[in-house]
Amino acid sequence: MKIPNMNLIAFDPGETTGIVEIINGVVVRSYSLKMVEIYTILASRNAVYRRWARYDAWVVEQFLLYPQKAKQQGYSEIPSARLIGALIVGSMGAGAVMTLQLACNTKQFVTESKLSLIKLKAKINNRHEKDALRHAVYYMLTKGRVH
């Protein structure tokens, strides 16, 4: 299995959001940001947003509220879902393809051996970034080339 030469950015949204940036199938940046930092980037359309806007695709983990978890979310404003909405608007402003992916699909499909296929020029620092990487690899292996 070969990783396609694609350009994309992948997000694992949450209070701490893991982000990986991929150019020609190679991870060139891996970092984490707090929600407020992402909102600031999207609202200001600063240099970071302009870099993000150059990617063909934005890949984001989809948020689902499972029935067995619903009671734990009582009175929650569900901040991850809000952030996903902001990322959708950000991708639209960039003219990028936006794809939402379920965590369960990526974690089952993107094994450690599949993760090892991708070339890293940036260190994956935490589980949020690793989950963003899983989403990127899943997209690249299942969606084909973005036109």
pLDDT tens for each residue of 9-22 = 999 999 999 999 99
Q: Is residue 1, in this structure, part of any structural domain at all? A: no
Residue 99 Cα distances to 3, 62, 129, 136, angstroms: 18, 9, 17, 10
Predicted confidence (pLDDT) at residue 76 exceeds the cutoff of 90: no
Q: Read off the pLDDT band of 66 (50, 70, 90).
A: low
- Mean pLDDT, residues 77-83: 86
What total of structural domains would you count in the chain? 1
Which domain CATH number covers 118?
3.30.420.10
DSSP 93-126: HHT-EEEEE-HHHHHHHS-HHHHTTSEESS---S
Residue 16 Cα distances to 35, 36, 42, 77, 84, angstroms: 7, 10, 16, 16, 13
More confident residue, 28 or 103: 28
What is the pLDDT, as a whole number, of residue 11? 98
Q: Is residue 2, in this structure, part of any structural domain at all? A: no
Q: Is residue 93, in this structure, part of any structural domain at all? A: yes
Predicted confidence (pLDDT) at residue 147 exceeds the cutoff of 50: no
Predicted confidence (pLDDT) at residue 145 exceeds the cutoff of 60: no
What is the pLDDT, as a whole number, of residue 146? 39
pTM, 2 dp? 0.90
Name the 3-class secondary structure at 65. Answer: coil
Structural domain boundaries enclosing 138: 8-143
Q: Is residue 60, in this structure, part of any structural domain at all? A: yes
Q: Give per-residue pLDDT as tens, 37-46.
A: 999 999 999 9
Q: Is residue 3, in this structure, part of any structural domain at all? A: no
Which amino acid type is present at position 118? I
Q: Give per-residue pLDDT as tens, 87-136.
A: 999 999 999 999 999 988 888 899 888 888 888 999 999 999 999 999 99
What is the pLDDT, as a whole number, of residue 131? 95
What is the pLDDT, as a whole number, of residue 4? 82
